[in-house]
Amino acid sequence: MYKRILVRPFLTLFLAMAVLSTGATGLPGPLLEVSAALAQSNEDKLVRPRSLIDLLFRRNTESRQIQEVPKREVKRARVAPREPQRAAAPAPEPAPEKLENALVILVVGDFTASGLAQGLREAFKDAQSIVIESRASGSSGFVRDDYYDWPGTIEGIIEEVKPALVVTMIGSNDRQAMRVDGRTEKVRSEAWEREYKARIERFAGIVQKSNTPLIWVGGPPYRFKSMSTDILAFNEFYRTAAEAVGGSFVDIWDGFVDQDGAFVLSGSDINGQTVRLRNSDGINFTNAGKRKLAFYVERQIKAMFGDAASSLLTVLAPESYSTLRLPPLQVEDEVVRMDPIPIADPELDGGAELLGDIHSVAERRPENPLQAKSPRNRLVEDGVPPAAKPGRANDFAWPPA
């Protein structure tokens, strides 16, 4: 490039001198064209001779137009990030098959009873000797006997299923007016309560007549205070009717309220973990809530059936469930009560003195010199200073010895 830049000025000068010396007409035609082209080229490019500074610093004085080639945008296909391969979760073990002579637990009631049955199936899924049979009707109750008459249908259900136990949970749909003797009575009016109790007692009496144990589960609290207030009153009706026929009443109220007795959506499950127990409507139960609901009844069932409700039992024989009824409650007269015993009572162990009594021990045997207190301990613990010796500063005897 340097040769081309340096040669052009000398070649132009040579041609110019030749033209001046010989005349424009004296040059041959091709030479004149070359000279004219070089001159035009120099005018266009404005090339000047390189100076020493240009040579030292390699400065290029030619005005070159560098055309940048636009970069082509390369569109790359978007590759989705690969998720780490997780080990396939082991398939859940199939539930063991139930025994042919398994005990059938019949669950009846409204939609709460349906959730209770689901929780009981989960609780006894490994118990081959327990089968949960649900005959719940979601919108039923004792008020609308025109829709579903529980006292009139429970006898036929028991004859069909032949259950070893009947579990009842009902009442959430009964907060409505009831027809009594052709009149419409408001909820919890005097006539309403009298008729409602009669229907409950009729239902419980039919179960008792079938010689089938009965567990009545109380209603839960709800988000609406007025509804919870009515359910509390209904629970007392159920408790009285169940205990009148030798049945058992299970109160599940405290499991779904906080420490102040207020309704909660979330609470502790059967493992002590805080989970959602109720749905957003404040009425229905979640799966965890249904399992907790069944937990209270599960304890009663295991107390009634004993080994027959164990998941380790593979053969159900009559001796496996000698009794199917809850043990009778202890009568108040049979309770043996004891007066509070003070912790310092010397008669607690049959002796007449407290263990380690220094004074009584000193009375029975002479003091052991190895166990005697040092003067320092007697001073610090008992406040007894050591005896003064004659001539010492602490000898205050008078007259001095």
Write down all domains in the chain, each with its CATH number in brackets. 2-57 (no CATH), 103-330 (3.40.50.1110)
Residue 95 confidence (pLDDT): 73
Distances in Å between the Cα of 227 and the Cα atoms of 219, 220, 289 are 11, 10, 19
Residue 32 confidence (pLDDT): 52
Residue 237 confidence (pLDDT): 97
**Residues near 210 by beta carbon (within 8 Å), at least 6 away in sequence:** 155, 158, 159
- Tell me the H-state helices in 124-166: 150-161
What span, in angstroms and rounded, lies between the C-alpha atoms of 369 and 349? 30
* CA terminus-to-terminus distance, the chain: 133
List the chain pLDDT tens, one digit each, 401 residues.
Answer: 444 445 555 555 665 565 555 544 444 555 555 555 555 555 554 445 666 666 666 655 444 444 555 556 656 666 666 666 666 667 667 778 899 999 999 999 999 999 999 999 999 999 999 999 999 999 999 999 999 999 999 999 999 999 999 999 999 999 999 999 999 999 999 999 999 999 999 999 999 999 999 999 999 999 999 999 999 999 999 999 999 999 999 999 999 999 889 999 999 999 999 999 999 999 999 999 999 999 999 999 998 988 777 766 555 555 544 444 444 444 444 445 455 555 555 555 455 555 555 444 445 444 554 456 777 777 777 777 777 777 777 777 777 66
What span, in angstroms and rounded, lies between the C-alpha atoms of 289 and 119? 8
Q: Which single residue is written with the structure tokens 């007692």?
A: 201
Residue 269 confidence (pLDDT): 93
What span, in angstroms and rounded, lies between the C-alpha atoms of 235 and 58? 104
Residue 391 confidence (pLDDT): 72
Residue 80 confidence (pLDDT): 63
At residue 178, the 3 state secondary structure works out as strand
- List the one residue out of 187, 195, 200 whose CA is nearest residue 237: 200
Judge whether 201 and 191 are in contact, CB under 8 Å: no
Judge whether 132 and 105 are in contact, CB under 8 Å: yes
Q: Are strands 183-185 and 165-169 parallel, antiparallel or unpaired?
A: unpaired
> How many C-alpha atoms does 50 have within 13 Å on its Cβ side?
19
- The overall pTM is greater than 0.85: no
What span, in angstroms and rounded, lies between the C-alpha atoms of 138 and 144? 13
Judge whether 119 and 295 are in contact, CB under 8 Å: yes
Token digits for 335? 């309770």
Residue 75 confidence (pLDDT): 62
Q: Are strands 103-109 and 165-169 parallel, antiparallel or unpaired?
A: parallel
Distances in Å between the Cα of 181 and the Cα atoms of 175, 188, 192, 237, 277 are 19, 16, 11, 21, 41
